[in-house]
Amino acid sequence: QILTKIGILPQDIIFDVNILSIANGMDEHNHYAVEFLKAVKWIKENLPYVKTSGGISNLSFSFRGNDTIREAMHSVFLYHAIQAGLDMGIVNAGKLPVYEDIPQEFRKLIEDVILNRRKDAAKRLIAYAEQLHDNSEEQQKKQAEWRSFPLEERLSFSLVKGIGDFLNKDISECKQEFKDGLSVIEGPLMNGMKKVGDMFGEGKMFLPQVVKSARVMKQAVSLLQPWIEDTKGRQHFAGKIVLATVKGDVHDIGKNIVCVVLSCNNYEVIDLGVMTPTEQIIETAVRQKADAIGLSGLITPSLEEMIFVASELERRGLDIPLLIGGATTSELHTALKIASVYHAPVVHVRDASQVAHVLSNLLNPKTKQEFADNINKKYIKLSHQYLQKHQPLTSFAEAQNKKFPLNLSLVPKTPDFLGVWHLTQTNLSPLLPNIDYTFFFKEWGFKGLYPQLLNDPVHGKEAQKLFEDAQSMLKQMTEEKWVMGKMSFGLFEAYSQNEDVIIRHNDKEVALCFLRSQTSEKEYFPSLADFVAPKNASVKDHMGLFVVAIEESEKQISKTFEDNGDEYSLLLFKVLSNRLAESMAECLHQWIRTKWWNYASEEHLSDKDLLSQKYQGIRPAPGYPSCPEHSEKRKIFDILQAEKNLGIHLTENYMIQPLPSVCGYYFAHPDAHYFDVGKIGDDQAEDYANRKNISFEEAKKLLSKS
């Protein structure tokens, strides 16, 4: 409370929770590890958004000198600590065994010590460790011997390990041991996929592995299909779910990942793709007798679409459970805005690892009611807490009187060139050093910073594999020119007028409409317009606009991956294309600063500093916290003639299509910075409606996130 009162955000607070040694001969110390796990769990449940850390190696101090025990203890303890919510740990990452590679008996003995399950746990652990020898050669031999397993075990092993090299041989052998192809799917294949789903949900397996397993499953089913059709077999699913990215939204990576995870858990998935109208979602769910509907969205207008879908389900008297997911969604918004308009179960699913657990509870007659009731109680509590704690808004008039004080003596020079330009870049190799791999891994569900993530004791091994696959594909993408870059950008005379920035182009003035914070705890309430000199200033000021897009070449590589059923390569290609678009935006901004506008000609930044944005000026995009309203993209597109010159367009909800692409603004003043506009009051919404010449109701809809 003290920290938040002085303006420190909860997400910037890290609690370093004490970890003390266990199994040190003092019985009263044996519960220390358990108490740490409880403490971390309490912090995550009661102090939302804060982070936790701990000095892991303290735990095993009693076993100093016995590295075998210490290293295994650290790995097992980290596994349980991460499950409890631990965000970061201090440990020698280079000396950690992979959790799954620790022999099961050894792991159980360690867990007896860590979880304080028996009084003689420490003695039993030491006795076992003394018998351990280096068995790396034996392990390698064991891994190579899996081909001698019985057929069913080989098939399950292939799925869990994502190995498709022997499928033709093994599927052919199935015809001698199984009565039909469906028996193979519902037997060894589903056993393998169930193990994959369980391990992923428990944090013992990671997304790239899951996608590879799903690829092997699809290959196996494809090989079995002719046999299934001959015997007229029909697979029995755990349930049927309709998935869709809502109308106006074209992002599908997260939805596609959920499709893979659900397939791994034996759900029949009807994927309606992107930009799906509400009518199509509901009609498909009714016609297909779906057990649940899953809605996905990335941009803020998608939240309104999700509310509309829920309200339409309610209007029609349906009771199909509704799952909500996507980057822009949250448990709080789901509780306040979506669950409140639909009587049937509505559940926010934070990430793909949760979806199978949620569905299994919702579709099981024994658990459905209790699960739905618990979710409903939780959402009612969340809504109540939000309304109780919500910070009162400063009036719009008062906020306007406390705008950010711009230092006019620091207004940048006039750009060397004014106007609009369009460029095409076929050689994308220069973009590679500026790829932000932290966000690349985040899109795959990995937590942590690059490059430290590659040495993470839990995630490092799979992160390294994914990184190597990414490097290989990037090499092909650039050398074989799978994609090209397209850019439109412009620099203009500009001045601010309250919350608008007026730019001059082709002898006309266009007002770019921004918003002002009404919840700031500082001495001022900023708007992006504050970073441009006003009309009556003694100096002339300027502003920039840009749109960049990564476009597939005529080779249409993504279609090839899709036709081949190669979800892993397709997802990897899409995620890397997103990263290339962001890297191109970063490189273009650097070029603008140092060449075209030339206000930072002496700038010499390392790739790391560039990614950390240690340069003068900012590059916000509509949808950012400092300019959360998306409809202003239309003005950027019209001024730059992006649709005509880049071959891209805006959907009705202002998503740029096709992906991947980015558009935004260039502010050059050294005091320009990012901030969160936060909640908007009706007084500012009314002013915004007047400035944009739209109705108050339409403005409220556009500002729905605020």
Per-residue model confidence as pLDDT tens digits over 517-570: 998 767 899 999 999 999 989 899 999 999 999 998 877 888 888 888 788 898
Question: Is residue 135 scored above 50 in pLDDT?
Answer: no
CATH 1.10.1240.10 at 141-230, yes or no: yes
Per-residue model confidence as pLDDT tens digits over 379-417: 988 887 776 666 678 999 999 999 999 999 999 999 988
Tell me how far apart the alpha carbons of residues 357 and 338 are, in angstroms, rounded to a whole number.
21
Question: Is residue 359 scored above 60 in pLDDT?
Answer: yes
CATH homologous superfamily for the domain 1-134? Dihydropteroate synthase-like (3.20.20.20)
Q: Answer whether 394's CB lies under 8 Å from 516's CB.
A: no
Question: Is residue 434 scored above 50 in pLDDT?
Answer: yes
Average pLDDT over residues 640-661: 86
C-alpha distances (whole Å) from 134 to each of 60, 124, 269 are: 21, 20, 46
For residue 451, whether the previous peptide bond is cis, meaning omega lies within 30 degrees of 0, is yes
Q: Answer whether 396's CB lies under 8 Å from 683's CB.
A: yes
Average pLDDT over residues 181-193: 82
Question: Is residue 137 scored above 60 in pLDDT?
Answer: no
Q: Which residue has the higher pLDDT, 66 or 133?
A: 66
Name the token pair of 475. Answer: 């090499």
Residue found under tokens 């735990």: 59
Where in the chain do CATH 3.40.50.280 domains reside? 239-388
Where in the chain do CATH 3.10.196.10 domains reside? 399-425+472-703
Name the token pair of 384. Answer: 């109540």
What confidence score (pLDDT) does residue 513 get?
97
CATH 3.40.50.970 at 239-388, yes or no: no
What confidence score (pLDDT) does residue 257 get?
80
- Three-class DSSP category at 537: coil
- The lowest-confidence range among 232-246, 300-314, 341-355 is 232-246
Tell me how far apart the alpha carbons of residues 353 and 546 are, in angstroms, rounded to a whole number.
36
Q: Which residues have a Cβ under 8 Å from the Cβ of 465 and sit 6 or more positions away?
A: 208
Percent of the chain with pLDDT over 70: 93
In this structure, the number of other CB atoms found within 10 A of the CB of residue 456 comes to 21
What confidence score (pLDDT) does residue 64 get?
67
Question: Is residue 706 scored above 50 in pLDDT?
Answer: no
pTM for this predicted structure: 0.62
Where in the chain do CATH 1.10.1240.10 domains reside? 141-230
Supply the mean pLDDT for the chain: 86
Average pLDDT over residues 134-157: 70
Tell me how far apart the alpha carbons of residues 324 and 349 are, in angstroms, rounded to a whole number.
6
CATH T-level fold of 399-425+472-703: Cobalamin-dependent Methionine Synthase; domain 1 (3.10.196)
Question: Is residue 510 scored above 50 in pLDDT?
Answer: yes
Average pLDDT over residues 446-469: 87
pLDDT tier at 134 (50, 70, 90 boundaries)? very low
Per-residue model confidence as pLDDT tens digits over 218-244: 888 888 878 876 765 566 788 999 999
Sign of CA dihedral 629, 277, 647, 579: positive
Name the token pair of 270. Answer: 């009807």
What confidence score (pLDDT) does residue 369 get?
92
Where in the chain do CATH 3.20.20.20 domains reside? 1-134
Q: Answer whether 102's CB lies under 8 Å from 68's CB.
A: no
Average pLDDT over residues 128-147: 58
Average pLDDT over residues 245-251: 82
- Dihedral of CA atoms 448, 452, 457, 462 in degrees, nearest 10, equals 80
What confidence score (pLDDT) does residue 104 get?
86
Listed residue (459, 10, 441) closest to 450, CA to CA: 441
What confidence score (pLDDT) does residue 1 get?
78
What confidence score (pLDDT) does residue 559 get?
87
- The lowest-confidence range among 14-28, 42-56, 659-673 is 14-28
Question: Is residue 654 scored above 90 in pLDDT?
Answer: no
Residues assigned a catalytic role? 249, 251, 302
Listed residue (158, 75, 120, 150) closest to 456, CA to CA: 75
∠ Cα 276 279 284 (to 5°): 80
Question: Is residue 676 scored above 80 in pLDDT?
Answer: yes
> Residues for the chain: how many in total?
706
